[in-house]
Amino acid sequence: MTADNRTDKDRQLDEARVGFQDTALTTDQGIRVDDTDNSLKVGERGPTLMEDFHFREKITHFDHERIPERVVHARGAGAHGYFEVHDDSLAAFTAARFLTTPGLRTPVFTRFSTVAGSRGSADTVRDVRGFAVKFYTPEGNFDLVGNNMPVFFIQDGIKFPDFVHAVKPEPHNEIPQASSAHDTLWDFVQLQPETTHMMMWLMSDRALPRSYRMMQGFGVHTFRLVNAEGRGTFVKFHWRPKLGIHSLVWDETQKIAGKDPDFNRRDLWEAIESGDFPEWELGVQLVPEEDEHAFDFDLLDATKIIPEEQVPVRPVGRLVLDRNPDNFFAETEQIAFHLGNVVPGIDFTNDPLLQARLFSYLDTQLIRLGGPNFPQIPINRPVAEVRNHHRDGYHQMTIPQGQASYHPNSLGGGCPAVGGEGAYTHYQERVDGNKIRKRSESFGDHYSQATLFWNSMAGWEKEHIVAAFRFELGKVVHLHIREGVVRNLNQVDHDLAVMVAEGVGVEPPAGAAVPNHGHGSPALSQDHDPVQTV
Ligand code: HEM
């Protein structure tokens, strides 16, 4: 940061900015254009000539304007801003400088999104919202790629293509565009009880945020912080909006989707334009490694929260969004978030959903953004220096110097140092086991936390949830799917199952299900404030 409040990222982006004021129109080759309204023809009414290079270039570029939209989270809106840590109290847990250096303002770009709809779909649909933050730290880019709900639909990423195929418009008729009211989604849900907890969130008002500025965010997975001595601590990341958490009601969302499909996008844009900068508090839940097995669920299971009564959320710093993008495509569309972008002090866990994501994001971006040089696109470039021996590929934007592009070398290509102070070292977790395709039994309880969620709702919230189940499930054509969902809900709460059954025309379950809630709940080794363990 400098006195003019501009970040290193702002200055780096300056190099890429182009304006049009007081300049002459040119071709891509810099040749000034004499007329851009009439093509070159033989006579006034004759055929257009191939030699009209301006015409050809203009049309060709237009023909190639579209890139693939994101396979999920295609619809989104983003903004620039900064992150500022409150103090150095996390230094005992992480070596990450942006989380431990008071006064350091880390530039960020944040993108909010819906999941299922295409780029042009409406904002106010019932859906999960993405909450992705790219921190341009002095040690490289860190991406926190989260959602506005703290859990996920599935436990193992190998199910992600199945899940997304079920959520997206059906393959034979491409209906519905962006809605959970269709057979394939609910068929997947009834056959995969691990979706139950997340479906409770999805049927709640959390799926209808009034504004991105009034939405929580969650990293969802358990990650790992690693301190300077190499000691690990499990961590869950939380974003809490300064404006509080507010939702629309279903009837409003329906009307707004018709009147202003850009409702959430416009709200974010206008707030920032008017200087009303949205703000979130970053918080962490910390769990010492010795307490990995102290819960009645598995920390590696992304369908579970760590209840805040058990592990309170510690405030860490604030995120402020204070500048709209200059260009939607160049910035919001071309930004590439990736869970695998971590900096020293932050590492992964063996959550099988997290592990799958580590593969998926880079892979999809290679096609979405046209090859391996997309990290050179201005919005994706780190402010940290990039020096390596990657070479060639489509759209190489730098001019590497020297003869050698391998390591080590003794020629003029330079040989950047490897290792040493500031280098990323992976956490040395001891892992031992047979190669096996099997879900851990510790992932077996699909209902307890769904029940916890239901029981934590006020009466009016419960009414909204029941109404949502009735509306969405009531559109399902196949009765056996409705019945299957009601059977699962009976494991959550009998009254809920009866109310939904009555609303969707299937036989209500005769009695409460025998609880199928898995294992016991061993006591925590201590009171769970990891501060006391250092
Ligand atoms: C995109 C969150 C699970 C694959 C996104 C985005 C978010 C997100 C926020 C939008 C990023 C942006 O704004 O550009 C999550 C969360 C998950 C989850 C919180 C679970 C906890 C998964 C899994 C996979 C996956 C399991 C695959 C195995 C993708 C892909 C994209 C995406 C391919 C598009 C990325 C792009 O084209 O840039 N996800 N996701 N996600 N996600 Fe996930």
Does 338 contact ligand 1 (Cβ within 6 A)? no
User: Residue for token digits 């431990």?
Assistant: 100
User: In which band, very low, low, confident or very high, does the pLDDT at 181 lie, cut at 50, 70 and 90?
Assistant: confident
Please write the tens of the pLDDT for every residue from 346-404.
Answer: 999 999 999 999 999 999 999 999 999 999 999 999 999 999 999 999 999 999 988 89
Kindly state the average pLDDT of the residues 102-131.
97
Distance 99 CA to ligand 1 centre (A): 24
Does the structure show a pLDDT above 80 at 514? no
The Cα–Cα gap between 166 and 180 comes to 10
User: In which band, very low, low, confident or very high, does the pLDDT at 516 lie, cut at 50, 70 and 90?
Assistant: low
The end-to-end CA distance of the chain, in Å, is 33
Q: Does the model's ipTM exceed the 0.90 cut? A: yes
What is the amino acid identity at position 177? Q
| β-pair partners for 32 | 26
Residue 400: cis peptide before it, omega within 30 degrees of 0: no
Does 374 contact ligand 1 (Cβ within 6 A)? no
Higher pLDDT, 317 or 520: 317
Distance 63 CA to ligand 1 centre (A): 28
Residue closest to 471 by CA, chosen among 246, 169, 249:
249
- Give the percent of the chain with pLDDT over 70: 95
Does the structure show a pLDDT above 90 at 416? no
Does the structure show a pLDDT above 50 at 343? yes
| β-pair partners for 82 | 107, 320
User: In which band, very low, low, confident or very high, does the pLDDT at 517 lie, cut at 50, 70 and 90?
Assistant: low
In this structure, are residues 130 and 115 in contact, taking their beta carbons and an 8 Å threshold? yes
Kindly state the average pLDDT of the residues 149-171.
97
Number of H helices, E strands in the chain: 12, 10
Distance 141 CA to ligand 1 centre (A): 17
| Annotated binding residue 368 | yes
In the structure encoding, which two tokens stand for residue 94, read together?
A: 């992480």
Q: Which of 73, 143, 192, 377 to mutate to test the pocket of ligand 1 (most atoms within 8 A of CB)?
A: 73
Q: Report the pLDDT value the prediction gives residue 21, as an integer from 0 to 100.
A: 84
Please confirm, yes or no, whether 147 is among the known catalytic residues: yes
Distance 50 CA to ligand 1 centre (A): 44
Does 467 contact ligand 1 (Cβ within 6 A)? no
Say which DSSP state 227 is in.
Answer: -
HEC string for 249-284? CHHHHHHHHHHCCCHHHHHHHHHHHCCCCCEEEEEE
Please name the residue whose Cα sits nearest to atom 26 of ligand 1.
Answer: 157
Single pTM value for the model:
0.95
Nearest-atom number in ligand 1 for the CA of 111 is 13
Q: Report the pLDDT value the prediction gives residue 413, as an integer from 0 to 100.
A: 62
Kindly state the average pLDDT of the residues 201-226.
98
Please write the tens of the pLDDT for every residue from 439-469.
Answer: 999 999 999 999 999 999 999 999 999 999 9
User: Residue for token digits 């006020």?
Assistant: 458
* Cβ partners under 8 Å of residue 362, min gap 6: 338, 340
Please write the tens of the pLDDT for every residue from 290-306.
Answer: 999 999 999 999 999 99
Distance 485 CA to ligand 1 centre (A): 26
Nearest-atom number in ligand 1 for the CA of 336 is 38
In this structure, are residues 54 and 67 in contact, taking their beta carbons and an 8 Å threshold? no
Please confirm, yes or no, whether 519 is among the known catalytic residues: no
| Annotated binding residue 111 | yes
Q: Report the pLDDT value the prediction gives residue 481, as an integer from 0 to 100.
A: 98
Kindly state the average pLDDT of the residues 58-75.
98
Three-state secondary structure call for residue 465: helix
Three-state secondary structure call for residue 13: helix
Does 304 contact ligand 1 (Cβ within 6 A)? no
Does the structure show a pLDDT above 80 at 518? no
Instruction: Tell me the Cα Rg of the chain.
Output: 26
Does 93 contact ligand 1 (Cβ within 6 A)? no
Residue closest to 190 by CA, chosen among 496, 488, 444:
488
Q: Please work out, in degrees rounded to the nearest 5, the angle formed at the alpha carbon of residue 29 by the alpha carbons of 28 and 35.
A: 70
What dihedral angle (degrees, nearest 10) is formed by the CA atoms of 438, 442, 445, 451? -140
Q: Report the pLDDT value the prediction gives residue 62, as an integer from 0 to 100.
A: 98
Averaged confidence pLDDT in the chain? 94
CB-CB neighbours of 78 under 10 Å: 25
In this structure, are residues 316 and 85 in contact, taking their beta carbons and an 8 Å threshold? yes
Does 147 contact ligand 1 (Cβ within 6 A)? yes
DSSP output for 393-455: -TT--S---SS--SSS--STT-----SSTT------------------GGG---SHHHHHHHH
344, exposed or middle or buried, with CB in 10 Å at 0-12, 13-18, 19+? buried
In the structure encoding, which two tokens stand for residue 173, read together?
A: 């008729």
- Catalytic residue chosen out of the listed positions 54, 80, 147, 341: 147
Does 336 contact ligand 1 (Cβ within 6 A)? yes
Does 209 contact ligand 1 (Cβ within 6 A)? no
- Catalytic residue chosen out of the listed positions 54, 73, 238, 528: 73
Please write the tens of the pLDDT for every residue from 242-294.
Answer: 999 999 999 999 999 999 999 999 999 999 999 999 999 999 999 999 999 99
Residue closest to 91 by CA, chosen among 108, 104, 78:
104
Distance 38 CA to ligand 1 centre (A): 45
Kindly state the average pLDDT of the residues 91-111.
98
- Give the percent of the chain with pLDDT over 90: 90
Crossing angle of helices 160-167 and 352-368, in 10° steps, is 70
